[in-house]
Amino acid sequence: MSALLKLSGLIDRINLLVGKLTMWLVLGAVLISAGNAIVRKVFNMSSNALLEIQWYLFAAVFMLGVGYTLLHNAHVRIDFISSRLSKRTNAIIDVLGIIAFIIPLSLILINLSWPLFYKAYVSGEMSQNAGGLVRWPVYLLMPVGFSILLVQSVSELIKRVAFLAGHRSEPFTFNEEKSEEQKLAEELAREAEQVQLKAK
């Protein structure tokens, strides 16, 4: 289990780096979008290439950031239910979900998207828009993104199993922190309870 936890730690570090680098793509997309809008309004010029690179960057943020999201336990959950369950029960649900859904889905989508990328790469497929971009880089995001998800899901599986076996105190690497608004709401609720108790 020690070797598997080291592997999990390595995967986590890689996806942490990929996630942080991916955040810069958001800035790139915003700057290109703003620049494109300014050029269009001021000089009455437009570029399909600049428009398409925005879409590429937007797609890259989601596809390359998926492992980072899973690492931070920030994926969609039914919080109303999961918050009422124990860590152990949630870990068991996660193990079943990873094995039954995430890993098979990732493998299927890698298998389906790789030929799409390869065909576009070999043929040199271009955008149908005038001055548009070559298509294979955006197609490559699909198998790469699902590979990232697959590898991170293996890391999460290792951590959940290690937690269930008593080798870790927590099932997650990062626990979701409460926002300032949530903390304030909880504090106000506690104060309201104290006022009610004093009134009685």
101: three-class secondary structure by DSSP: helix
- Alpha-carbon torsion (28, 33, 38, 43), positive or negative: positive
Cα 143 from Cα 76, distance rounded (Å): 22
Cβ count within 10 A of residue 154: 18
Supply the pLDDT for residue 180. 59
Contact criterion met (CB below 8 Å) for 150 and 107: yes
How do residues 117-131 score in pLDDT, each as one tens digit?
999 999 988 888 887
Supply the pLDDT for residue 107. 97
Above 80 in pLDDT, residue 24?
yes
Q: Which of 98, 85, 93, 32 is nearest to 61 (CA)?
A: 32
Q: What is the pTM of this model?
A: 0.78
How do residues 40-79 score in pLDDT, each as one tens digit?
888 887 778 888 898 899 999 999 999 999 898 877 766 6
Which residue is it, tokens 């915003």?
Answer: 30
